[in-house]
Amino acid sequence: MWSVLIRTGARSLAAFALAMLPACSTYQIAATSLSQVGDVFTPPAPSTPKIDLSAAKWQKLSPAQPDANPLRVAIVARDAEIGATRVVVKAPPSFALPAYWLNAQGTYTVLKGTFEFETVGADGQPQKLIQAPGAFALVPPNLIQRAATKAGDEGLLYITVYGEWAPSFAEGAWAMPSLRAGS
């Protein structure tokens, strides 16, 4: 009796192994697209979208923004089908954007430079996030954010808003100094 169970178990194990072969080879293909550093796999570097800014019309973010403030935005596309507006925000190195929020959900991708975002996490605690080219994030509506570029290179931030581009700023936001301390 035991020999029948063992033979049946062995056949079942062999059938399971044969059934798993395609899944194992798929895993192997997926794993080879990752780079290996020691025993740790890391995902491939994020890619940045290619946006043609040669004909961009740069403007202030808000009518209240002083002309001397170098922060600029260009509307690069409107997609009526999904109700989205795509913009690129341009900021010089070591520059702090005033706190802002958007009334609609959106996404952003860092195209150039490095940004440091300050916001509040789901637990209500302050959160800092360093984002380099290729970094992508979903942004819920009405999330107040502060962003600043790091030293070295101007920053370009590609934003898609599922609605009109209409950033909101706190009263007096443009009167505050924009250069980061220690820069």
Distance of alpha carbon 112 from alpha carbon 134, whole angstroms:
8
Length, in residues, of the chain: 183
More confident residue, 124 or 133: 133
pLDDT at residue 43 in the model: 56
pLDDT at residue 38 in the model: 56
Q: In the chain, where are the structural domains located?
A: 2-42, 72-175
Helix (H, G, I), strand (E, B) or coil at 89: strand
pLDDT at residue 6 in the model: 41
Query: Could you report the per-residue pLDDT of 144-153, keeping only the tens digit for each?
Result: 888 999 998 8
Q: Which CATH number fits domain 72-175: 3.40.190.10, 2.40.128.640, 2.60.120.10, 3.40.50.2000?
A: 2.60.120.10
In this structure, are residues 94 and 68 in contact, taking their beta carbons and an 8 Å threshold? no
pLDDT at residue 41 in the model: 57
